[in-house]
Amino acid sequence: VTTLKRESVHLESVYPTIIKGKKDVEIRPQVTAFITRVCVDEGQQVAAGQTLFILDQVQYEAAVRQAEAAVAVAQESVNSASITAENKQKLFNKNIISEYENTLAKNDLAQAKAQLAQAQASLVTARKNLSFTVVKAPSAGYVGSIPNREGSLASPTSQTPTISDISEVYAYISFNEKQVLEMTDGGKKSLSEATNALPEVKLVLSDGTAYPLPGKISTLTGLLDNTTGSASARILFKNQNGMLRSGSTGTIVIPI
């Protein structure tokens, strides 16, 4: 004979998940040129600002020198126009020349200054394009596959490596519309309150082992996907010793 008694039971809900790095940044050069040097290797950990690869700089260095020469010519034009305008003003003050001549001199000076400003702007652009030939990591992380090597043509549209910051990772799961409605308890609480009240979750890796650190559901999208009728939830995990990698799969276990 067994005496029945009431007790609490822990149930579990299981959801498939895809793991992504905190930052997965595609590295795309902002100018088009041939790669002359690749400074990192696949899988290498890099720091923010570290040089990844260098593009051919010859044409961009020539453009900088040409822009510098244009600025020098424009500056000389301003100097000449300024002297002319000053002399014309003195002659006008003595009633030697007409107001029309004086105004033309002032207009020539204004035009020369505008051309100087335009040349200076072109120089800034040329120097910026030259700096773009040294492609640097925008953030710390691990280098993904490198599709192009020395001699390959790189451009803003070409296939490029990815820098993945996996100091923390995000695991994404989906809740269906019914589950989202149940979280609000008939409208008695908001989705953010319901999300904060959810317990810590576990991550089971693809080999069946449990990840040692718990995770916490941090966000839940406010819109339902019309094609799937589900909302995406994001779970934050600390990445112990870089164990988790962007693109990994697993299972999220939520206790009830």
Q: What is the pLDDT of residues 86-116, one digit of tens each?
A: 999 999 999 888 999 999 999 999 999 999 9
Is the confidence at residue 67, as pLDDT, over 90? yes
CA distance 82 to 74: 12
CA distance 141 to 168: 11
* pLDDT tens readout for residues 165-205: 888 899 999 888 888 888 777 777 777 777 788 888 999 99
Is the confidence at residue 26, as pLDDT, over 90? no
Per-residue pLDDT band at 255 (split at 50, 70, 90): confident
If DSSP codes are grouped into helix, strand and coil, which group holds residue 9? coil
CA distance 49 to 77: 40
Select, from the ranges 25-34, 35-44, 59-68, 200-209, the one with the highest average predicted confidence (pLDDT): 59-68
- Give me the helix-helix angle, 99-131 and 58-93, nearest 10°: 160
Is the confidence at residue 139, as pLDDT, over 80? yes
φ and ψ of 107, to 5 deg: -65, -40
Residue type (1 letter), 159: Q
The residues, any chain, with a CB within 8 Å of residue 173's CB and separated by 6 or more, are: 15, 16, 17, 232, 233, 235, 252
